[in-house]
Amino acid sequence: MGDDGRTTWILVDGENIDATLGGSILGRRPQPDERPRWDRLMSFASRTWRQPARGLFFLNATTGIPMAFVQALKAMDYQVVPLSGAPDEKVVDIAVQRTLRAIVDRADDVMLVSHDGDFLDDVAALVDGERRVGVLAFTEFRNAGFATLPGIEKFDLEYDAQVFDAPLPRVRVIPIEEFDPAMFLR
């Protein structure tokens, strides 16, 4: 825990990030070297908010558990939350929503790793002026509703958290204060 006893809870909607990376950015299933380096996310959270971070990685395990991936996440100190349910149940969303609601009663901070607008109400309920609340995603795919929530910090998985080894083929709107023509004059 930090000096004030606070922890940053990182809630990872792995399905959502994987689907966006593969379907919207790469247009295909990511190769192993194109996947996020999840250990960097923990370091980013600890560094950014200067307190310990604990990661919960939610997986839909209805059809089985990807054991090699689970073991890798555990080695990075994530708590893996394998879930199952009926085919029409969004088990990861349900579990993340329940977890966000449970954190309301704690004095901890939260970084949600998802683009999903299904979490808007639960994230909004965490904004109380005391705790820090953040959303990490690919900025251009993050649900627009997060921009309307006052008091949350927004981070980009690639540009802020730097969880990828190589640049992704993304089209990014560049704030003019960040524009560097050298990036385009290669």
Confidence band, pLDDT 50/70/90 cuts, at residue 167: confident
**pLDDT tens for residues 70-81?**
999 999 999 999
Q: 78-83 and 8-13: which strand pairing?
A: unpaired
Which ranges in the chain belong to alpha helices (H)?
Answer: 14-19, 38-49, 67-75, 91-103, 120-126
Mean pLDDT of 20-31: 93
Q: Is the pLDDT of residue 3 over 80?
A: no
Distant-in-sequence, close-in-space partners of 60: CB < 8 Å, separation ≥ 6: 15, 83, 84, 91, 92
Mean pLDDT of 36-43: 95
Q: Token pair for residue 133?
A: 């609340």
Q: Which domains does the chain have, with CATH numbers?
A: 8-183 (3.40.50.1010)
CA 111 to chain centre: 7
Confidence band, pLDDT 50/70/90 cuts, at residue 31: confident
Distant-in-sequence, close-in-space partners of 164: CB < 8 Å, separation ≥ 6: 34, 36, 37, 157, 158
Return the pLDDT at 55.
98
Return the pLDDT at 78.
97
Residue predicted with more confidence, 173 or 67: 67
**pLDDT tens for residues 84-135?**
999 999 999 999 999 999 999 999 999 999 999 999 999 999 999 999 999 9
